[in-house]
Amino acid sequence: MELGFLLGSIFKIFAILAYLYGLLWVLARPNRWVKLIGVVVAFGVIQLALTDFGGFQVLTNFDSGLLFQACAMTMVALGLNLIYGFNGQFSLGQWGFYGIGAYTAADITYRWVNGDARGLLVVGFGTVLGGLALIYIGRWLKRFRGVPVLSSFTLYLIGAILAGTVAVYIGNALNPLFEPLLGTNLNPGALNSPLALQIVFFLAVVFAGIFSAEVSFLFGLPVLTLGSDYFGIATLGFTIVVNVLMINSDTILPFPEMKGGRGMVGIPKLTTWFWAFFFMLAVIIIMRNLIQSSTGRAIISVREDEVAAKAMGIDVAGSKLMAFVIGSFFAGIGGAVYAHFIGFLSPGTFGFLQSFNPLIIIVFGGLGS
Structural domain includes residue 366 = yes
DSSP H or E segment with residue 84: none
The stretches in the chain having pLDDT less than 50 are: 1
What is the pLDDT at residue 137?
Answer: 83
Going 284 to 289 to 292 to 294, the CA torsion angle's sign is negative
What is the pLDDT at residue 105?
Answer: 94
What is the pLDDT at residue 67?
Answer: 83
Indicate whether 67 and 140 sit together in one domain.
no
What is the pLDDT at residue 9?
Answer: 67
What is the pLDDT at residue 334?
Answer: 94
Indicate whether 243 and 337 sit together in one domain.
yes
What is the pLDDT at residue 1?
Answer: 46
Structural domain includes residue 54 = no
Whole domain around residue 94: which residue ranges? 61-115+197-369
Indicate whether 313 and 297 sit together in one domain.
yes
CB 279 within 8 A of CB 205: yes
User: What amino acid is encoded at 128 in this protein?
Assistant: V
Between vectors from CA 289 to CA 285 and to CA 294, what angle results, nearest 5°? Answer: 165
Indicate whether 122 and 222 sit together in one domain.
no
Indicate whether 178 and 210 sit together in one domain.
no
In the chain, the number of structural domains is 3
Indicate whether 145 and 94 sit together in one domain.
no
Indicate whether 261 and 320 sit together in one domain.
yes
Tell the burial category of 190 from Cβ atoms under 10 Å away from its Cβ (0-12, 13-18, 19+). exposed
Each residue of 223-268: pLDDT tens digit?
A: 887 776 788 888 888 899 899 888 988 888 778 888 888 888 889 9
Indicate whether 211 and 323 sit together in one domain.
yes
Indicate whether 111 and 137 sit together in one domain.
no
φ, ψ at 293 (rounded to 5°): -90, 175
Exposure pattern of 264-273 as b/e (b: 16+ CB <10 Å)? beebbebbbb
- Point out the domain boundary residue: 148, 182, 216: 182
Structural domain includes residue 105 = yes
Indicate whether 178 and 291 sit together in one domain.
no
Measured between alpha carbons, how far is 251 from 347 in angstroms, rounded to an integer? 14
Indicate whether 288 and 361 sit together in one domain.
yes
Structural domain includes residue 53 = no
What is the pLDDT at residue 183?
Answer: 64
Structural domain includes residue 191 = no
Structural domain includes residue 247 = yes
Taking CA atoms, 174 is separated from 115, 116, 182, 201, 230, in Å, by 13, 11, 13, 20, 44
3-state class (DSSP) for residue 188: strand
Indicate whether 106 and 121 sit together in one domain.
no
What is the pLDDT at residue 209?
Answer: 94
Each residue of 130-141: pLDDT tens digit?
A: 888 888 888 887
